[in-house]
Amino acid sequence: MSMITATTWVPRGFAAPFPSKYVFDEDEYARISELAKLQLDDAKEDLEEAQEEEKQKQTNGSGGATKAQDAEEIDDDLKEYDLEHYDDDDQDGEGDTMAMFGNSKNLAFHENDEDDPYITMEGNAEEEDEEREELQILGTDNLVLAGRIEDEVAHLEVYVYEDEADNIYVHHDIMLPAIPLAVEWLDLPVGKAAAGGDAKGNYVAVATMDPDIEIWNLDMVDSMYPDAILGQGAEDADKPKKKKKKKSKKANDEFHVDAVLSLAANRHHRNLLASSSADKTIKLWDLNTTKAAKSYTYHTDKVCSVSWNPVESTVLLSGSYDRTIVAADMRAPDAKAPRWGVESDVETVRWNPHDSNYFYVSTENGIIHYHDARNAPADPSQSKAVWVLQAHDESISSFDINPVIPGFLATGSTDKQVKLWNIQDSGPSMVVSRDLGVGKVFSTTFAPDKEVGFRLAVAGSKGAVQIWDTSTNAAVRSAFATKVPQMKGDGKEKVVGLDEAETDSDSDEGESGDDDEDAGEKGYESMEE
């Protein structure tokens, strides 16, 4: 089984032209050895606790003698492996915390190839140059980041999208500890490379089913450990020699204790990252210190989505399974924040990037709500939207508003459809609907740069990423020609996937989406007074 659960884009010009290769030296080996021993010790403790509980059950319950006998037989089978002592001190009295690597402590480490007597091959410099060129990222390339789960192994894939060549390929990937739920690009150096002021970076924050948030350097290939961890797991990375405390399960102000469902980087205050969690809290992280600066409890159920206002940069929008949306000023946590209600569980919330007074909400029932933030109701149950749109028959798992083209909305659903909408003063109308072959759609994200403003990354339950050049669709060209007059088309609709060339759609006739557009116009209800 393979699926992609979240995607995001990296704007052009931020990725290093030649990413660095991770260097595994003795210091790093020692640090990871300590971390591995900590994890092993914790696993042993958990096993001992489980065995003790099982013994008590056997003592109190019937059939205890039989179970104990079975356990003894299993122990006899394992005795020959002496697992109880496999990581104990060796005969010389020197501890080997990475016993699974056998005699690796006796290996010599050489800083340079020239120092290693066993490296005698010539032409290493040429091979390094070739490998360096293979890793090269051009200034006209975009990176697309995709969180993938495959056969219970989670990782983040870093794609390079070459727009001119209509090509996308995997540049490198990063191992993750659990199923990825959200990925957020960061333009600020974090962790070991942290720097103040106007320093520019190319990092990613990844939220998973674990309560910790990992931050990785995208300009480093083959990294073994994140540059920073936001959460309780950071204690292990900072002080690996110290035995870690048992993970807290109780919600608190310092870190999340359940899955992190959403991330939002603040583009004005670049050191701030907001996160929301199944533990019902919202955390505001200071990336300079990698600590939680504030914690907020505005909701009574899982908080599934957060979004910063593009103009009022301290106002955070949050949506929850408690069926409410809150727009709170993070500077005034004690003030009563405006709240709106919807008919079912919230999936995603987004501010309108072209008019910061309005925001969108998608729900489990396949409905999009469009609200004016200036008209907050006294009672959330009496919320009145500007318009409400039944966009899909099933849950709207993702949607995005084009950052370059006003009124251009894309929605994706578990019904496997991606729909494009034209939002006008009169309300929304559907432009076109597509099944792009990604299965249930989990992510739809527009490219951030003007040069590729019509490109839409789509991914889902089949584990495929597709880049749809929506400007090549006749209906899209017709709908947005007045907003983007230079838009042109050659009659070929382009959808680019991994190792795929462009796919030619049928002729533009029949692609206009007129029938769908009529259906879309009937699907929304104007709520203006």
Query: Residue 401: pLDDT above 90?
Result: yes
Write the single-letter amino acid at 330: M
Q: Where are the beta strands (DSSP E) in 104-255?
A: 142-150, 153-162, 167-176, 180-186, 203-208, 213-217, 220-221, 228-230
In sign, the C-alpha dihedral spanning 20, 22, 25, 31 is: positive
What number is the average pLDDT over the span 284-306?
96
SS3 sequence, 19-53?
A: CEECCCCHHHHHHHHHHHHHHHHHHHHHHHHHHHH
Task: Report the pLDDT value the prediction gives residue 135, as an integer from 0 to 100.
Answer: 83
**From the CB of residue 518, how many other CB atoms can be counted at a distance below 10 Å?**
12
Q: Which residue has the higher pLDDT, 104 or 497?
A: 497
Cα distance between residue 17 and residue 375, in whole Å: 47
134, 164, 181: which is the final residue of a domain?
A: 134
Q: Give 178-198 as a DSSP string.
A: S-EEEEEEE-S--GGG---TT
User: What are the tokens at 128?
Assistant: 């390094």
Cα dist. 293→123, 285, 330 in Å? 52, 5, 11
Range name among 132-141, 228-237, 333-342 with the lowest pLDDT average: 228-237
What percent of the chain shows pLDDT beyond 70?
74
pTM for the model stands at 0.77
Task: Report the pLDDT value the prediction gives residue 197, as an integer from 0 to 100.
Answer: 59
Are the C-beta atoms of residues 208 and 216 closer than 8 Å to each other?
no
Residue 291 is assigned to a structural domain of this protein:
no
Q: How far is CA 382 from the centre of its chain?
A: 34
Query: Residue 411: pLDDT above 60?
Result: yes
Q: 488: domain range?
A: 392-529
Pick from 175, 293, 172, 148: nearest CA to 230: 293
Residue 306 is assigned to a structural domain of this protein:
no
Task: Report the pLDDT value the prediction gives residue 503, as an integer from 0 to 100.
Answer: 39
Whole-number CA gyration radius for the chain: 26
Task: Report the pLDDT value the prediction gives residue 31, as an integer from 0 to 100.
Answer: 65
Q: Which residue has the higher pLDDT, 342 or 526?
A: 342
Task: Report the pLDDT value the prediction gives residue 493, as an integer from 0 to 100.
Answer: 81
Cα distance between residue 176 and residue 154, in whole Å: 5
Query: Residue 142: pLDDT above 90?
Result: yes
118, 134, 150: which is the final residue of a domain?
A: 134
Query: Residue 169: pLDDT above 80?
Result: yes
Residue 30 is assigned to a structural domain of this protein:
yes
DSSP β-bridge partners for residue 526: 387
What percent of the chain shows pLDDT beyond 90?
58
Cα distance between residue 210 and residue 258, in whole Å: 6
Task: Report the pLDDT value the prediction gives residue 9, as an integer from 0 to 100.
Answer: 97
Query: Residue 96: pLDDT above 70?
Result: no
| Cβ within 8 Å of residue 478, ≥6 positions away | 512
> Residue 77 burial (CB < 10 Å; 0-12/13-18/19+)?
exposed
3-class secondary-structure state, position 290: coil
User: What are the tokens at 12?
Assistant: 């052009």
Q: How many CA atoms are closer than 13 Å to the CA of 451, on its beta-carbon side?
A: 11
Continuous segment of H or E residues that includes residue 518 = helix 514-522
Q: Which residue has the higher pLDDT, 131 or 224?
A: 224
Task: Report the pLDDT value the prediction gives residue 88, as an integer from 0 to 100.
Answer: 58
What number is the average pLDDT over the span 71-80?
57
Tell me the pLDDT band of 528, cut-offs 50, 70 and 90. Answer: very low
What crossing angle do the helices spanning 64-79 and 26-60 adopt, rounded to 10°? Answer: 150
Task: Report the pLDDT value the prediction gives residue 343, as an integer from 0 to 100.
Answer: 94
Cα distance between residue 360 and residue 399, in whole Å: 9
Q: Backbone phi, then psi, for 173, in 5-degree steps?
A: -135, 165
Q: Backbone phi, then psi, for 508, in 5-degree steps?
A: -60, -30
What number is the average pLDDT over the span 1-27?
88
89, 110, 134: which is the final residue of a domain?
A: 134
Task: Report the pLDDT value the prediction gives residue 520, as an integer from 0 to 100.
Answer: 41
Residue 477 is assigned to a structural domain of this protein:
yes
Number of domains in the chain: 2
| Cβ within 8 Å of residue 156, ≥6 positions away | 145, 146, 147, 148, 173, 174, 176, 180, 183, 204, 206, 216
Residue 224 is assigned to a structural domain of this protein:
no
| Per-residue pLDDT tens over the stretch 23-63 | 766 776 676 777 677 777 777 887 888 888 888 877 776 55
Pick from 75, 83, 35: nearest CA to 51: 75
Tell me the pLDDT band of 526, cut-offs 50, 70 and 90. Answer: very low
Task: Report the pLDDT value the prediction gives residue 388, as an integer from 0 to 100.
Answer: 97
| Per-residue pLDDT tens over the stretch 414-463 | 999 999 999 998 899 999 999 999 999 999 999 999 999 999 999 999 99
Query: Residue 513: pLDDT above 60?
Result: no
Question: Angle at the Cα of 472 (from 467 to 476), degrees rounded to 5?
Answer: 100
Task: Report the pLDDT value the prediction gives residue 499, as an integer from 0 to 100.
Answer: 53
Are the C-beta atoms of residues 264 and 316 closer than 8 Å to each other?
yes
Query: Residue 103: pLDDT above 90?
Result: no
Cα distance between residue 3 and residue 507, in whole Å: 32
Are the C-beta atoms of residues 182 and 207 closer than 8 Å to each other?
yes
What number is the average pLDDT over the span 188-210?
83
Residue 521 is assigned to a structural domain of this protein:
yes
Task: Report the pLDDT value the prediction gives residue 36, as an integer from 0 to 100.
Answer: 72
